[in-house]
Amino acid sequence: MESTNLSSQDIIFSLDIGTRSVIGTVGILKDKKFRVVAERCIEHEERAMVDGQIHDVALVANVVNTIKSELEKDLSMKIKDVAIAAAGRFLRTIVVKEEIEVDYTREIDRNIIRSLELTTVKSAEKKINESVKGRLYCVGYSVKNYYLNGYVISNLLSHKGNNVSAEVIATFLPRSVIDSLYSVMEKVGLNVVNLTLEPIAAMEAAVPQNLRLLNLALIDIGAGTSDIALSNRDSISAYGMVPEAGDEITEVIAQNYLVDFNTAESIKRQCDKHKNITYTDVLGIENEISSEDVVKLITPTVKKITDKIGSKIIELNGGKPPNAIFLVGGGAHTPKLKEFLAKGLNIPLKRIAMKGREAVVDCVCTDNSLGSTGVTVLGIALICIKRLGHGFIDIMLNGKVVSLFDSHRHTVMDAMLHAGINPGVLIAKNGDNIRFTLNGIKRVAFGTLASSAEITVNGFSKSIDEEVKEGDNIEIKYALNGEAASPKIKDYIKKIYSISFFINDIIENLEPIAYINKNKVSLESNINEGDNVVIIFPETLRDYEKYFSLHNQDSEKFLYYLNGKELDKNYIINEGDRIYRVLKNQEEKEQITGNIGENSIEDKVHKITKENKENFQQINKIKEDNKKEITVTVNGKNIVLKEKKEYIFVDIFNYVEFDLSRTKGKLYLHLNGNNAGYYDKLSQGDIIELGWE
């Protein structure tokens, strides 16, 4: 221990909680290097941890508390904060490919690409959670390939297509692992200021940044796991682990020599120190064996472990061996391990090296007796120095707290991923169009445009790539799909069209007639994909007979008169016309001349036949029945509508002064507070508003 006058704010306390032992290191940052000032290493008395997983929180807490108390005594101060690491034993990786459909009319932007990546990572999370118990959290991912319409492409940005895909490598860590570590720290009164992964820490210590340009592999061989990290092109390119390490070798010794686990561990450690080893088995019999015999016994197990490590390295490194390998951890001293690795990976033995504490260039240690076992704890401290943050950062996302694993720079995208928000909410499609034929001309009714997603961080508009920090408030307004087109017949009647006139003093209306696929329909009918639509605007007597009056009857039997003059069937009917219709073959038919008013036509009808008289009485009765008055309110004024049995919205324009010929904006029509159409029916007491906006 260095003799120093320190305060609790100056020190950095790191803990490496391993399967066989716990190492606690206290140091300070001086001259840009981490200088160790105090250190303790204590082995677990019982198997409180198996394969890197804490099985007995209380037992592990006792060991940690002992280390903490002894270091506090050495330093004459209270230790409050600690940096820790989660074992690589629990890293899970998965390769997933997912596809999403996109609007082929729009260029692919960064939000679509990020949403594609999110979709793929969410798929990976779903798949990996199906195979394990407890929820896993994504701690990193990288894209292997993008695809456009099924073909590999290096960059999707600004392209157009029908579908895009991404193949992603995602890495996950269970929250239960973090929780068990935090439980231990809570029991001993320590506050976690930084949490990392053990392979990351080992890489930080053993492979400094200036060496990461090379394709190197670092293997941290502990008791429960063999953690792997790879570097390439100035960055850490992959992490992995093999769930077998020193304990598997110890178990072979225990089973063959009938000893307990701790005795077997002692035999294993003496192999490279003594020629002969003496031990007492479970029967109480003292035995002596040679180290050579022990090595022969464990060789098959060592080969099996190294084969798995080598295969994992090849898998993580894209199917090829790295240029060199560094070994750290207590298991790195296992006999024949280096030789089997070199042979399995087909690399020279001299390119596999042991990394001790003296090789950690960013640290200064006066006691390097821990050797390769004490490398990871230094890396934990180095990473803490770089980050000096919390293991988790808490941010607000749409009003809810989201905790993010503080292992790297986090963005809005990461927050969405951890909150379980479906990435599809960032992508919207325009509403579907409807294609149809109108009066022989091909038409398209367009769906509404999609609304893009809106992202704000602390009230300011940001992108999905915006970095988020502790306490940030993120609000996401989800993208909305456009509505599918829903055209109606009335939408294609551009002008106000309704003519009111009289036939034998009975009011009639000429209004548009619509057919869909040769079937007569109302003007409110919806138009569907591929429909053949015909809209007819009747205006002549012949049109009246064909569509409103006689239909399939013989129209040649009738004559029509206006103001005493016989009308041609092609006569264009005008608003307010009083037209009279009589049969051609009336026995007492007279040539009608001059102006024919209501009384004169009635006289003529009386003179023709008794049947006609009865017809007249019926006409008169119908005429009276059809005269209905209603009162409505138009823009705040009461208006009385007369002379019709039923009224529609367009009739209002016959009673108010409103110039439709001069457009002054967008015309709005409201009926009882709702949007109205020209052909909506009116009732007594309706409230109408119309004008320009």
What DSSP assignment string belongs to 646-670? SEEGGGGGGTS----SS--S-EEEE
Q: What is the dihedral of CA 175, 181, 184, 190, to 10 degrees?
A: -110
Angle at 133 between CA 131 and CA 134, to 5 degrees: 125
**Rg for the chain, CA atoms, rounded:** 44
CB 620 within 8 A of CB 605: no
Question: What distance in Å separates the CA atoms of residue 103 and residue 109, rounded to the nearest whole number?
Answer: 12
Enumerate residue ranges in the chain where pLDDT < 70.
Answer: 1-7, 9, 31, 51-52, 88-90, 134, 137-142, 234-235, 387-392, 405-408, 495-497, 550-556, 585-627, 659-663, 665
pLDDT given for residue 577 in this prediction: 87
The SS3 assignment for 144 reads strand
**What pLDDT is stored for residue 69 in this prediction?**
93
Q: What are phi and psi of 69, to 5 degrees?
A: -65, -40
Domain covering 629-692, topology: Ubiquitin-like (UB roll) (3.10.20)
Q: Are 44 and 22 in contact (CB under 8 A)?
A: yes
Beta-strand relationship, 191-197 and 81-86: parallel
Query: What pLDDT is stored for residue 142 in this prediction?
Result: 64
**C-beta of residue 429 within 8 angstroms of C-beta of residue 524:** no
Task: Residue 86: name the closest of 230, 167, 185 by CA.
Answer: 185
Output the six-digit token pair for 153. Answer: 């492409």
Q: Residue written as tokens 């820790």?
A: 84
pLDDT attached to residue 235: 64
Query: Residue 631 and residue 686: Cα distance in Å, rounded?
Result: 8
Residue pair 218/328 in contact (Cβ under 8 Å)? The answer is: yes
Distance CA 597, CA 604 (A): 11
Domains 209-357 and 629-692 share a fold: no
Report CA 45 to chain centroid distance, whole Å.
Answer: 48
| Structure tokens belonging to residue 527 | 């138009």
- Single out the residue of 324, 322, 326, 349 nearest to residue 338, CA to CA: 349
Compute φ and ψ for 620, nearest 5 degrees: -65, -40
Q: Which fold has domain 209-357?
A: Nucleotidyltransferase; domain 5 (3.30.420)
CB 641 within 8 A of CB 632: yes
Alpha helix stretches (DSSP H) within 555-682: 598-608, 610-626
CA atoms of 55 and 48, how far apart (whole Å): 5
In the chain, domain spans = 209-357, 489-626, 629-692
Q: Which residues contact 164 (CB under 8 A, 6 or more apart)?
A: 99, 100, 102, 108, 112, 113, 116, 146, 147, 148, 156
Strands 163-174 and 92-101: antiparallel
| Cα 630 to chain centroid, rounded | 56
- CB contact set of 415 (below 8 Å; sequence gap of 6+): 395, 397, 402, 404, 468, 474
Contact 411, 465 (CB under 8 A): yes
Amino acid 405: pLDDT: 56
**Helix %, strand %, coil % for the chain, to 5?**
30, 35, 35
Compute the half-sphere exposure of residue 585: CA atoms within 13 Å on the CB side of its CA: 4
Alpha carbons 23 and 41: distance in angstroms, whole number = 4
Residue 400 parent element (H or E): strand 400-405
CA dihedral 150, 152, 155, 156 (to 10 degrees): 0
Round to whole Å and give the CA distance between 253 and 176. Answer: 32
Who contacts 642 (Cβ-Cβ below 8 Å, separation ≥6)? 627, 629
First to last CA, the chain: 83
The residues pairing with 688 across neighbouring beta strands, listed in sequence order, are: 634, 671
Return d(Cα 25, Cα 68) in angstroms, integer: 10
> What pLDDT is attached to residue 334?
86
Please choose, from the candidates 678, 691, 684, 578, the residue with its C-alpha nearest in 3D space to the C-alpha of residue 641: 684
What SS3 class is residue 424? Answer: helix
Pairing of strands 532-536, 434-438: parallel
Residue 270 CB coordination number (10 Å): 16
Supply the angle between the helices 175-187 and 57-75 in degrees, to the nearest 10: 50
Residue 278 half-sphere exposure, CB side, CA atoms within 13 Å?
2
Of 379, 343, 67, 97, nearest in space to 220 by CA = 379
